[in-house]
Amino acid sequence: MQNIKIRLASERVNTSLTFGEEGAPHLYTPGETITDNQRVMSGHGTYMDEENKEVLKASVAGTVERVNQLICVRPIKCRYMGEIGDVVVGRITEVQQKRWKVETNARLDSVLLISSVNLPGGELRRRSAEDEQMMRKYLQEGDLVSAEVQSVFSDGSLSLHTRSLKYGKLSQGVLVKVPPSLILRRKNHFHNLLCGASVILGNNGLIWIYPTSPEDDSGVGGFTQNLEQVIDKEDRERIARLRNCILSISASKLMLFDSSIQYAFEESLNYSIKELLTPEVMLDVAFRTRHRLQAYKDS
């Protein structure tokens, strides 16, 4: 018989970690004064006070970012705002003429043109009418894909491409959604972790966890999907543990990258996979992970 734990809202565990005074970011609220320096420029998330034009205030809740004299406020929670070169994980929502519509956790659906994908086998040639007729065979509604942001349109929507063989259709694994602001921007977002699983850390807040497989150099163009392969119990448990670890450190607002996920996995081995869903254990894993990251940084 399954045990269900019910608790009052007053007994809810606070999953936020206590930061020290040094290096603690200041959280600005809407209407709060940022500066009265006349030389600064107003950026996203800020506005000049109507009564006093010298005072710059925040229009959203978040942290301040400065680039020379330009001041912006990055909101804590918001939809993904893509930049060129970002790695994203998305789901195909519609097949249109010469393009696919992809849901990438942004304000608008992204676009994947047929000219921006590798043909099966990595063949390089112009796309023909036959390729358009075969689009649904390559990618159809509901398929998960990894891609890279190629350009940003004037309305904010994204144009994607999968020209590298590391991008393409995703097969067997688990999808985890976290706030995009918690994904640390790095050169590489594809990681084979020491624990025996692999992750794709999408800049749009979607993380794909899948079993590590040997390198396949057959050059299939990223459209193969082996759903008949049986994932053994050990790999499934490892993926489930990684998923719960990612949720634990994201609930405490820790940045997500390969080292933090690996540390969280190692610290979670003292608990069962099921126990990682309880707030007290989630907070303990996040606290131990933060301690190890701080110790590594100080060493």
- 295 band by pLDDT with thresholds 50, 70 and 90: confident
Q: What is the DSSP string of 57-92?
A: EESSSEEEEEETTEEEEEESS--B---TT-EEEEEE
Whole-number Å distance between alpha carbons of 103 and 292: 35
Beta bridge partner(s), residue 56: 35, 48
Q: Other C-beta atoms within 10 Å of 141: how many?
A: 12
Q: What is the pLDDT of residues 206-245, one digit of tens each?
A: 999 999 876 554 444 466 666 677 888 999 999 999 999 9
Q: Of 246, 266, 268, which Cα lies nearest the Cα of 257?
A: 246
Answer whether 203's CB lies under 8 Å from 147's CB: no
Q: What is the pTM of this model?
A: 0.82
Q: Is the pLDDT of residue 21 over 50?
A: no
Q: What is the pLDDT of residues 34-92, one digit of tens each?
A: 988 888 889 989 998 888 878 999 999 888 888 888 999 988 788 898 899 999 999 99
Name, in order, each residue with C-beta under 8 angstroms of 266's C-beta and a sequence gap of 6 or more: 195
Residue 26's pLDDT is 77
Answer whether 276's CB lies under 8 Å from 268's CB: yes
Answer whether 55's CB lies under 8 Å from 48's CB: yes
- 253 band by pLDDT with thresholds 50, 70 and 90: confident
In angstroms, the Cα distances linking 169 to 111, 114, 210, 222, 289 are 15, 14, 13, 6, 32
Domains of the chain (ranges, CATH numbers):
28-75 (2.40.50.100)
Q: Interhelix angle for 233-251 vs 258-267, to 10°? A: 110
Whole-number Å distance between alpha carbons of 182 and 204: 10
Q: What is the pLDDT of residues 153-207, one digit of tens each?
A: 999 899 999 988 889 889 889 999 999 988 988 899 999 999 889 999 999 999 9
Whole-number Å distance between alpha carbons of 289 and 299: 15
